[in-house]
């Protein structure tokens, strides 16, 4: 019986891949980053617009307060309280919207990456593939890095190495 277990475990093939690195080099990553930045900028602009609107209405309230009836003052004051309350909650609301937007945009890229990983694992005979990016294991059996195979499967080419003595783009 021990021999049967030994021969079965001898067929286990373990590999690993850093899914964060894979997703960052996928062609979809640049468009995804652009979309996320544009969305966050739109949310920021909306927040600034809300702030400007609130400040304008506040200034107008103080300017008109001497001529307003007590009832009209109360109505305008309540409007200001509501507007500033919405403004206070806007940062958290915008952050939640940005996170949801990012999750929705990233999901199909993750699915594509995982499908490619599964296909490479099957083609190369891997029983287990560990995600190096999310692994909490500090010690594990040696395995093979599948990133080069998955990059090939997705048609991602390595960037050419920088010539000696040249600065990378954007470097100081």
Q: What are the per-10-residue average pLDDT scores of the chain (172 residues)?
A: 50 86 91 94 94 92 90 92 90 93 94 92 87 66 81 85 53 44
147: buried, middle or exposed (CB in 10 Å: 19+, 13-18, 0-12)? buried
pLDDT of residue 171: 45
- Cα 94 to Cα 107: distance, rounded to the nearest angstrom: 20
For residue 144, the SS3 value is strand
- pTM (two decimals): 0.66
Q: Which helix (H) or strand (E) holds 17?
A: strand 14-17
Supply the DSSP symbol for 170: T
Given a contact cutoff of 8 angstroms between Cβ atoms, the answer to whether 113 and 22 are in contact is yes
């Amino acid at each position: 019986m021990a021999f049967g277990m030994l021969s079965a475990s001898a067929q286990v093939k373990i590999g690993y891949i850093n899914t964060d690195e894979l997703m960052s080099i996928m062609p979809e990553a640049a468009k995804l980053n652009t979309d996320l930045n544009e969305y966050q900028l739109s949310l920021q602009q909306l927040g600034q617009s809300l702030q400007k609107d609130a400040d304008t209405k506040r200034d107008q309230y103080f300017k008109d307060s001497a001529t307003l009836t007590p009832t009209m003052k109360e109505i305008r004051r309540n409007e200001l309280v509501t507007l500033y309350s919405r403004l206070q909650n806007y940062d958290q609301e915008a952050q939640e919207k940005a996170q949801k937007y990012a999750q929705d945009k990233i999901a199909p890229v993750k699915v594509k990456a995982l499908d490619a990983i599964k296909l490479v694992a099957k083609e190369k005979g891997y029983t287990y593939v560990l995600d190096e990016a999310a692994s909490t294991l500090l010690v594990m059996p040696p395995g093979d890095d599948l990133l080069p195979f998955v990059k090939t499967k997705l048609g991602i080419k390595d960037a050419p190495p920088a010539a000696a003595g040249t600065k990378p783009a954007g470097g100081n």
